[in-house]
Structures are given as structure tokens and as C-alpha cells.
Structure 1
Amino acid sequence: MLIQEGDKRTPATDLMLASILAFVAGGVNSAGYMAYRYFSANMTGNVSMASELIAISQLDAALGFLAIVMAFILGAFLASILIEIGKRHKRDNIYALTLIVEAGLLLLVGLAFALSAHPPNGILMVGLLAVTMGIQNAASTRISGSRVRTTHVSGVATDLGVGFAMLLSRSSSVEKAVTVLRLKLNLATIAFFAMGGVLGVLGFQLLGGMTFCVFAMPLIVLSVRYLR
């Protein structure tokens, strides 16, 4: 699942990867919002909020939202650099190592909550969560040839609308079969993101910041077999 890239991957492999990573992204996003009222995976909403706050001259708050966007971009940048270095050194397990880095940052955030006498700085913690989401989105996008985008629900919803329209068109049976596979992938991504979101809220209510450690576990389980 974390070795084959692009067209070498099967639809079933992409479906499994999208489901696991979307589940993690939904949980991290909702738990982060419960903690600080900031979304760590919703860059569209963060840019919109920053624009609104700039328009009403609340520049400090706007900078907070922009900092989260920049953290997401930083995460994607770091993941891509790590993947390029891994490819240069012929490390077949570089995607697994990249997801382990993401899991490590989630563990760091969870432990910071658990061990701090006072709540950690909100922008710093959500910024770290945004870095993890950037790492995850970049890794899943690159390994799947842009078919799997686990934090980009707006784009996935758009693809769903387009896909349903394609089924009604006069496409060939082969084209429709490909469209059905893409629809399954997109539906699974949204469904598991939503499921993770529900469990992220419930988990934060029960466990507090340790919820982020819980959502690091699927990444560790997914990646550890490739670390040899």
C-alpha cells in the first residue's frame, strides 16, 4: 500500500489508503477544533476567515488563520522534500517514513496537552496539526498520482458531482467503469473523513488532547510493516 506509486497501484489499494488517511484527517480536524476553534485541515475556510478579518481590520486574528495556512504549506513542502531525498537514496519505504513523521507530530501534540499544566498555545498546536495535515495530503497525493487527497473534501465533493454527471453521459462502458471506481474512492474519502470527525469530537470529550495520540495509531500500524 505504501510502496507502489501512480498507475502501478490498484483501485483497492487506493481505496484502503484513502479510507485510513481520511479517517485520521477527519479526527484530527474535529479534535483540533474542539480544542481551539481552529480547523487544521480546512484551508479554504481558514483563507476565507483571514480575508473576512482583514476586511474588518482584525489583523491579529487574521494572521493566526494565515499562519495555519502557511503551516499546512510547510507540511506539504517538508513531505515532498523528504520523499525526494528518499527516492534519491532508493528508499522504497519513504512514504511509510513520511507517515511516521506525521504520527510523531501527532504524538507530540497529544503529549503536550497531557503533560502541560496549562493549555498549550493555540496557534502553535493547531499549526503543528496543520503541518501533519500538509504532510499527509502531500504524501497521499504523490503516491497515488493525485487520485487520493484525504484532507481536501471540497475537491472530493466536486469530483463526486462531476462523476455522477459522467455516469449520465454517453460514455463507453470502460469509461463508466473507471468513473464508478473514482466515485467509490471519493465516497469513501468523504464517509471516513466524517466518521473520523465524529470520533474526534467524542474522543476529545473523553480523552482531551490524548485524542491526537489515538489518531496517530492508525498511521503507525499502517507504516510499521514497511520500516524494515
Structure 2
Amino acid sequence: MFTKLPRWVEYGAFTLSLIAGLINAVGLLGFEHKAISHLSGSVTLLGVSLPSNIPMALNLMMIIISFIIGSSISGLLISGESLKLGRYYDVLLFIESGLLLVSALLLNQYMTVGLCFASMACGLQNAFATTYSGAVIRTTHLTGIFTDLGIMFGRVIKGEPLDKRKCVMYIVIILGFLSGGILGNVLFAFYGVFTLLFPGLACFILGCLYRIYRQLSKN
């Protein structure tokens, strides 16, 4: 499980969760407090809107479907559950970067379409970071991580040993998401929706670094 993961995965998980937290901050600050990086709130809003506000319900359905489309892109390009060099992680990061760029350019004039592109980017990221070596690593929302931490602490109270690597990974993701929210708040005050260009640039840089790392590892 987590012991099989390379040591640099923590850095990647922190960066990806920071990106997701930043994206989500833009949605919460700028667009009727809509979460982008996860769907629990959107599905609840969909249920509330269906009886009385059909246009909003349709917008929420588009955002939810976009998240699924993004996840499908990851599923199309990556198969299996182990983290291996040579897979399309760099391509997925480049796609995510492009989706965030398009989102930033569209949000002011075409809010729902822009949110759909941002949601697609988050679905793509969450899917390609979900399972490594059988270890669940989700970087766009924290509910499951806090639940798993609670389970771990309960088992420690029972006398079972603490999985330190797993605990550190979860704390890293939480800190990354929190840092992304803080950074998103600061940047949004200056750049508004164009704040999404920053996580887009981060995804592009990560993709380039992974491609270089992959090439060097082959030599």
C-alpha cells in the first residue's frame, strides 16, 4: 500500500491538493459559493433546485457531468493501479492546465461554461491521483481523508500500530488544500477569476518536470 509509494509522492500530493484548494477558493469566492473541486454540495444543491429552479438545476447537472468527463479522460489514458514511469501523467497535467486556462478566460462572460471546464479539470486530477499501488490518494476533497484519519486514531486507541506513512500523507494533503484556500483568497483579491491561471501554470510546470524526470530515469 502506502509503503510501496516513492518518497516524492508526498510532494506531488501536496502540490495537487494545493491546486485543488486554490481552484475551489475561486469558486467559493466568486460564484454564488459554488464548490468546484468536489460534488457533494453540488448534488445537494441539485436536489434543492430541481422542484423550483430548473435553470440552476441544469447548470449544476452540467458541472457534475463535466467532473465525470474529466475523470473519464484519466480513465482513458491511465490503466492499472500502480505508479509507473512512462504513463500519461504529464499529458494529463497538460490537459488540466489547458482546461484551467479556458475556464479563466470564460468565467466572466460565460460563468456556467467556465465552471464546467474547472470542474472537468478537478475530475481529471482526482481520478489520476486516486489510486497508486492500492493506496487511495484523493487530492480534490478532504471528507474521506478526515474519515480515514478518524478510523486510524480509533484503531490506535485500541492498541493497533499507527501507519505513520499513511498519516503523514493525509496530513500533507490537508495542509496542501488549506494552503491552496489561503493562497486563493489572497490572489482572488488581485486577479479575480484569472487566479485560475496560477494553478493552470502549476499543472503545466508539474507536467514538464515529470516529463524531464521520466526521460532522466530512462538514461
Q: Secondary structure at the match of 2:136?
A: coil
3-state DSSP of counterpart to 1:161:
helix
2:109 aligned residue (120, 124, 127) = 120
> Are residue 94 (structure 1) and residue 78 (structure 2) matched?
no
Gaps of 5+ in 2: none
Q: Which moved more, 1:42-51 or 1:102-111?
A: 102-111
- Percent identity, aligned pairs only, is 27
Is 2:30 aligned against 1:41?
Answer: no
Find the counterpart in structure 1 of residue 203 from structure 2. Answer: 219
Q: Report the alpha carbon displacement of residue 46 of structure 1 after superposing the two structures with TM.
A: 0.6
Shift of 1:35: 2.6
Match of 1:135 among 124, 127, 152: 124
Conserved in 1, the CA contact under 8 Å of 2:102 and 2:117? no
> What's the CA shift for 1:159?
0.9
Displacement after TM superposition at 1:217 (Å): 2.3
Per the alignment, do residues 112 and 53 of structure 1 end up closer, same or farther by CA in structure 2, a change over 3 Å counting? closer
Residues 30 and 127 from structure 1, CA distance in 2 versus in 1: closer, same or farther, beyond 3 angstroms?
A: same
Note the 1:1-228 alignment, pairs <5 A. Answer: 8-10=4-6, 12-37=7-32, 38-54=34-50, 56-84=51-79, 92-112=86-106, 119-143=108-132, 145-171=134-160, 175-176=161-162, 178=163, 180-227=164-211
- The 2-side partners of 1:74 and 1:205 are apart by 31
In 2, Cα distance between equivalents of 1:170 and 1:160:
15
Query: Per the alignment, do residues 103 and 143 of structure 1 end up closer, same or farther by CA in structure 2, a change over 3 Å counting?
Result: farther
Large movers: runs of 4+ above 6 Å:
none
Q: Look up the match of 1:87.
A: none
What is the aligned residue count?
209
- Larger helix fraction of residues: 1
* TM-score of the two chains, using structure 1 as the length reference: 0.82
Counterparts of 2:9 and 2:155, CA distance in 1 = 21
TM (norm. structure 2) is 0.85
Give ranges in structure 1 of 5+ residues lacking alignment.
Answer: 85-89, 114-118
CA RMSD of superposed structures (Å): 2.4
Higher mean C-alpha displacement, 143-152 vs 195-204: 143-152
**How far apart are the structure 1 equivalents of 2:17 and 2:210?**
20
